[in-house]
Amino acid sequence: MHVQTRAWRAGAVLATALTWVALLAGCTSSGVGDVFGRPAAPDDVIRVSPDDGSRDVHAGGRLRVRVPSGRLESVTVVRSQDGQEFPVLGRLSADETVWKPDDPRLVLAAEYTIDAVALDGDGRRVARHATFTTFVPDRRFVGYLMPENRATVGTGMIVSVQFNRQITNRAAVERAIRVTARPAVEIRPHWFGDKRLDFRPRQYWRPGTRVTVALRLRDVEGAPGAYGLQYKNVSFTVGRSQVSLVDAAAHTMKVRRDGKVVATVPITAGAPRTTTYNGKMVVMERLAVTRMNSRTVGFGGEYDIPDVPHAMRLTESGTFVHGNYWSPDAPGRVNVSHGCVGLKDVKGGGSGTPAGWFFDRSLVGDVIEVVHSDDKKVAPDNGLGGWNMGWDEWKAGSAVW
């Protein structure tokens, strides 16, 4: 009897031990906690991607915070860059198990800090802190934009972005620049080589249009190892319409304002050996006075005038509309310039002269078209000459459409 009791007790102890082993094994396999109420490790309950401590994460890396079971109570993400901190906005899924950022692309050369609080599958509250850093590029590129922010421009303005590096991934860069208008109008891009991207509508802008250029180039890989730097908006307003027609054979310029001829101004165009380009050109900059030296535009030492008044650039190659005080009898009679369009003026640039009158009434973005000159049509990429291309040809210059 005594032996049987001892045997029974031994069996009971063994059975109890086996039961605890089974319970513990069952709880351990759940990955949530154990029978003593201890929660699982925070990194098991709250999963963060990229992994905590990751380095050199690229812009396309996916930032996610999720829980396999339970729900997220709060997620706070901060981006630290150049000594400043920026909140990263995002939202929870409907079932509160996944948090995603509103902007899926990561910013390069930054540190991200994630603080999350969740309830696990058993209702226990768990907190997790994680960090990762993104890739720091050795090379960056920027786009220099024309026109300037908040400018008022003429109806012929073409949005032009000149890059400081060659762009080989043109489609990605093109997608990162958006040009919109109010009132809305179709706007299309055109690449000139691998360092310049222009935008324009089918026809000249309507007066009063407000145009916004959204540059989203930051961290876009424009060429192998070269990433964009800018993330900003630039806006400008289209003013009144002014289109001037230069007739090189008749030595006149007819100025139209909002469709009506407001003046016919005598001019002198390019001499027979240095003719003026035909075609539509757009005022790129206005200079009250500037120096013009023939050696800077491919000529010899024919001229060096330190104080050319009322100068407005039309091409990169050096075509201007400007005041002319050194050939006072030429405008309206004979073409004597080296390719520019000259208007009568006085030394120092008088406001009452034809050149002064036209300068005061002109904007960057105004169109000046030259006809009847014994020269070729200006190249579309020489200045803002894109209006010399047909709409279908212009659209064909996109890397995306």
| Catalytically annotated residues | 322, 340
Exposed / middle / buried, residue 169 (Cβ in 10 Å: 0-12, 13-18, 19+) = middle
Q: Is 92:43 a contact under the CB 8 Å cutoff?
A: no
- Euclidean distance between CA atoms 322 and 14, whole angstroms: 107
> If you search the block for the tokens 């906005």, which residue do you land on?
89
Bond from prior residue into 183 cis (ω within 30 degrees of 0) = yes
Question: How far, in Å, CA of 234 to CA of 222, rounded?
Answer: 21
Question: Is there a contact between 227 and 219 (Cβ–Cβ < 8 Å)?
Answer: yes
Contact 235, 212 (CB under 8 A): yes
Contacts of 53 (CB under 8 A, 6+ apart): 130, 131, 132
> Which helix (H) or strand (E) is 343 found in, with range?
strand 341-344
